Amino acid sequence: MLEFLRPESMAGNIALGLAALVLLVLAADLAVTKLVDLAEYFHLSTTFMGMTVVSLATSIPEITAHVTASIGILRGTLDYEIGSAIVLGANIGSDVIQQTLIMGIVVFLAGRLYFRRYFLWKSLAPMIATTVMCIILGWDRVLSRMDGVILFGSFVAYTYYLYQDERKYFKPVADEGTLEEQEEPAIRNAREATMAALVTLGAMAVTVLSAQAVLQSTEFVVLATGVGGSLIGVITLGTASALPELITAVSGVRKSAHGISLGTLVGSNITNPLVAFGLGAMISTYWMPRPVLVWDLPWETVTGIILWAILWFTKGKLNRVGGVYLVVLYVFYMLTRAIFFAVD
């Protein structure tokens, strides 16, 4: 789609990729803001907003990259193995960053986060199960179209469950930290809601074009350097794709809406594999790089279990000491990935 913009030099491709990354994050952030406003307008709890609407919105970069890459693979403009490696590595890298580094940052800013026991079973446990599902489906080194249907169908079913649970149990109380109680609603009527929806669609369109430019530049770097596409995906796209979650989670802490922070970080780690992997696999199928299968996905599972265990034994309390553990886990993951799993 944007082949005419591709520079011939390494420096030019890196400059184009960085500029596209910035535009991708800004456009995704605008879409996130408008979607949060729409969710407020329909009177949803902050935790539900984080787990569904906001996590889906903040996953726009990952989802867009997958759809764009899959279309490129089908059209023959993107190499099948390189394209698969880049977006799969970026997705898992983003997830690991969220549940370790970003969660640690949020804990430091908040001082302490409190997870209710039902949140551990309703949200953290499905997050771990989602990663295990990806390992099982990708064990043959291929994510088929049927695998994509299973992943995406699981997301639809889980979202329906959360919606039914929300309508059955949620009551707007003070300690829920709803934004409606803290400030004037951003959307006050149907006309403003329609405008917000149109702005969201426009921002999402910009992310599609930005993702296309990033993928083209990244493919050039992979071919020119020989570095594994999944590693570049983890380092570049994975980090950039996690920025909307970081921005949203920090904003939630600043507004004392911790439900948004927790729901976004956990919900995105469910949305990313199920929706992004699922849609991409349904479009073109994926080749599963060995590092993603034997290190990235298992490590994401391990960090999820460690986080769950910490919260279980501390009765749902995560303080700054726990935040340090999470940051250390992220540093260990990245160093090991770069040293032992640099090539696909």
What pLDDT, in 10s, does the model give residues 76-131?
888 898 889 888 887 887 788 888 888 888 888 777 777 777 778 888 899 999 99
Q: What is the DSSP string of 236-257?
A: IIHHHHTHHHHHHHHHHHHTT-
Q: How many CB atoms lie within 10 A of CB 34?
A: 24
Highest mean pLDDT among 23-32, 291-300, 330-339: 291-300
Give the three-class secondary structure for 318: strand
User: What residue has token string 């960053």?
Assistant: 97
More confident residue, 197 or 138: 138
Q: What is the DSSP string of 145-192?
A: HHHHHHHHHHHHHHHHHHHHHHHHH----GGGT-GGGTS--S--SHHH
pLDDT score of 179: 39
* Cβ atoms of 78 and 220 closer than 8 Å: no
* Cβ atoms of 200 and 27 closer than 8 Å: no
Q: Are strands 142-143 and 112-114 parallel, antiparallel or unpaired?
A: unpaired
**pLDDT cut 90: percent of the chain above it:** 19
pLDDT score of 165: 80
DSSP secondary-structure letter at 296?
I
Beta bridge partners of 112: 319
Is residue 297 scored above 80 in pLDDT? yes
Is residue 177 scored above 60 in pLDDT? no
Instruction: Find, among 300, 254, 261, 230, the residue nearest to 102 by Cα.
Output: 261
Confidence of residue 157 (pLDDT cuts 50, 70, 90): very high
CA distance 262 to 282: 30
* Cβ atoms of 262 and 115 closer than 8 Å: yes
Instruction: Find, among 238, 242, 246, 337, the residue nearest to 294 by Cα.
Output: 337
Confidence of residue 251 (pLDDT cuts 50, 70, 90): low
Instruction: Find, among 277, 307, 279, 280, the residue nearest to 292 by Cα.
Output: 277
* Cβ atoms of 60 and 207 closer than 8 Å: yes
Amino acid at 188: R
> Which tokens go with 114?
């409190």
pLDDT score of 175: 41
Q: Are strands 286-287 and 142-143 parallel, antiparallel or unpaired?
A: antiparallel
Confidence of residue 178 (pLDDT cuts 50, 70, 90): very low
Q: Which range (118-127, 230-239, 309-318) has the least confidence?
A: 230-239
Q: Which range (29-33, 158-162, 199-203) has the least confidence?
A: 29-33
Amino acid at 287: W
Cα dihedral 165, 166, 168, 173, rounded to 10, equals 140
Backbone angles phi and psi of 114, in degrees to 5:
-120, 125
pLDDT score of 174: 43
* pTM of the full structure: 0.74
CA distance 19 to 24: 9
More confident residue, 145 or 20: 145
More confident residue, 12 or 276: 276
* Cβ atoms of 309 and 87 closer than 8 Å: no
Instruction: Find, among 341, 307, 280, the residue nearest to 84 by Cα.
Output: 280
Classify the C-alpha dihedral 70-74-77-81 as positive or negative. positive
Average pLDDT in the 211-237 region?
A: 65
More confident residue, 61 or 268: 268
Spell out the CATH class of 8-170+187-340.
Answer: mainly alpha
- pLDDT tens per residue, range 34-93: 877 877 787 776 667 667 777 777 777 778 888 988 999 999 888 898 889 888 887 887
pLDDT score of 298: 93
CA distance 17 to 259: 34
Highest mean pLDDT among 121-135, 223-237, 261-275: 121-135
pLDDT score of 141: 93
pLDDT score of 246: 66
